Structure 1
Amino acid sequence: MRTRTLVFGLTLAFLFIYGAHSVTITITNNCAYTIWPADQTSAQQSQLSNTGFELASKASTSLVVPAPWNGRFWARTGCSIDGSGKFTCATADCGTGQVACNGNGGAPPASLAEFNLAANGGQDFYDISLVDGFNLPLSITPQASCTVPNCAANVNEACPAELQVKGFDGSVIGCNSACIEFNQPQYCCTGAYSTSTTCKPTNYSMFFKNECPQAYSYAYDDPTSLFSCTGGPNYSITFCP
């Protein structure tokens, strides 16, 4: 009996440490139009139960995320279904032809909310990233006394002409990063620029940083863009905060 009790206790402890804990992430659409949020879980983990959905203006939905968990959220815009039933979006499309992204990431430009939950002794890390460009303003709010990163600026309105992504009507619907637009090592932090010592801010990354000071503007923008929280709080992501 004592052996069974010990094994049962160890099993409960294992479950508590490796998966019994979960976090609720609530996504709110504060934009004046419908968006289609999506999520992608990093490799070695199962995708969440809902990898893409429609969200009307002013509506919210919540997802239960197991911890530890590493992944990202974004929102697609200008989505429609063609005559063959294929679902596509003007920005951040994930290429599945469906509302669900099923593990695919969003095509740049896409504003990202990134999480690494329970990564270090229960500590969460989270950030807003414009490394893949910008399509929508967003914020991340921990339900705790932790930093609330915010990218409320409509970067599309100020986007340099060479980075602009335009819709069918000629309006700017996204702003590419210099890495996506030019695919050069100094902008992508690759090759000879693959370390924090050699990859420095550029005029293009500084444009994004000036618009959204709390968001990643290039790969090594950690000091002012990566935030942490302890205690396993729930989080809210708001698009168009």
Structure 2
Amino acid sequence: MEVQVIFALSLAIFFFNEAQSSTFTLKNNCPYTVWPGILTGAGPQLSSTGFELATQASLNLNVPPPWSGRFWGRTHCVTTDSKFQCATADCGSGQITCNGGGAIPPASLIEFTLAPNNGKDFYDISLVDGFNLPLSVTPHGRLLGCNTTSCAADVNTVCPSELQVKGLGGGVIACKSACLAFKQPQYCCTSA
């Protein structure tokens, strides 16, 4: 299976089918460094749970089905006092690898489920945890004929002021979900 996924205005992931296994190729097309994070929900742990991708750099990960999990892009990351931390979508591990930690909202997510034995694979883009980077998934290989899905717009540019997360320079670097910002049942789908 081959799928192209674009995080933020430029981080891309490609998926290639090799018999039962797939190769996810993550590529950063952003004009700045992005640190992808990976969380396995079911199936084998991938060889990496987080890494640095400079502009135009890419990394391949082999993924045998069945597997499900999430990918996201972390931005504005620094290491201080030997602790790695990102201003958006950090996973809280204190390291470049996430080691089982998921994205701390707000974070744009790409979710995958790879089925065994050429079963139906699923993928989606989720902004349920807010937004930090535009995303796109374009299927190839055994998913050829499936539709591209994306949130290609930079939501940060139209984020309402009460949902904005601002960086050190004062610019908007992420947009909270209404649930995260207001913590009320009508925004979190927690009441009848």
TM range (shorter): 0.7 to 0.9
Deviation at 1:117, TM superposition (A): 1.1
Cα displacement string for residues 186-219 of structure 1 (whole angstroms, at most 9, x for unaligned residues): 2111131xxxxxxxxxxxxxxxxxxxxxxxxxxx
Q: Is the 8 A contact 1:47 1:102 kept in 2?
A: no
Shift of 1:120: 9.4
Q: Give the equivalent residue in structure 2 for 1:142.
A: 139
Superposition TM-score, scaled by structure 2 size = 0.85
Alignment match, 1:4? none
Match of 1:179 in 2: 179
Change (3 A) 1:110 1:119: farther
| Secondary structure class of the residue paired with 2:113 | strand
> Equivalent residues in 2 for 1:3-18 (5 A)?
none
Please report how far the alpha carbon of residue 119 of structure 1 lies from its aligned counterpart in structure 2 after TM superposition: 6.9
Cα distance, 1:54 vs structure 2: 0.2
Could you tell me which residue of structure 2 aligns to residue 49 of structure 1? 47
Larger Rg: 1
Matches within 5 A, 1:54-133: 54-82=52-80, 84-118=81-115, 122-133=119-130
Cα distance in 1 for partners of 2:156, 2:94 equals 26
| TM superposition shift of 1:45 | 3.5
C-alpha change, 1:28 and 1:121, in structure 2 (3 Å) is closer
Report the Cα offset of residue 51 of structure 1: 0.3
Give structure 1 stretches of 5+ with no counterpart: 1-19, 193-241
The answer to whether the 8 A contact 2:44-2:67 is kept is: no
- The separation in 2 between residues aligned to 1:141 and 1:117, in whole angstroms, is 15
Q: Percent identity?
A: 64
The question of whether the paired residues in 1 share the 8 Å contact of 2:67 and 2:114 is answered with yes
- The secondary structure found in structure 1 opposite 2:121 is strand
> CA-to-partner distance for each residue in 1:85-112, whole Å, 9 max, x for gaps?
1000010000000000011101111110
- The code of the aligned residue for 2:55 comes to S
In terms of fraction of residues, the more strand-rich structure is 2
Range moving further from structure 2, 165-174 or 141-150: 141-150
User: C-alpha separation between the residues in 2 aligned to 1:191 and 1:103?
Assistant: 30
TM-aligned CA deviation for residue 25 of structure 1: 1.2
Point out the structure with the larger helix share: 1
Write out aligned runs for 1:196-211 (5 A): none
Letter in 1 for 2:101: N
Contact 2:20 2:116 in 1 (8 A): no
8 Å contact kept, 2:34–2:53: yes
Asked whether the 8 Å contact 2:130–2:175 carries over to 1, the reply is: yes
On the 8 A contact 2:90/2:104 being kept in 1, the answer is yes
Q: Which of structure 1's runs of 4+ aligned residues deviate more than 2 A?
A: 44-47
Gaps of 5+ in 2: 1-18
Aligned residues: 171
Question: CA offsets per residue over residues 172-195 of structure 1, 9 Å max, x none?
Answer: 000011011112222111131xxx
Question: Is the CA contact (8 Å cut-off) linking 1:29 and 1:60 kept in structure 2?
Answer: yes
- After TM superposition, the structure 1 = structure 2 runs for residues 225-236 of structure 1, keeping only pairs within 5 Å, are none
RMSD, matched Cα: 1.6
- What letter is aligned with 1:58? Q
Q: State whether structure 2 residue 155 is matched by structure 1 residue 155.
A: yes
One-letter amino acid of the counterpart of residue 131, structure 1:
V
* Deviation readout 1:142-164 (Å, 9 max, x if unpaired): 11221111211010000000000
Letter of the 1:77 counterpart:
T
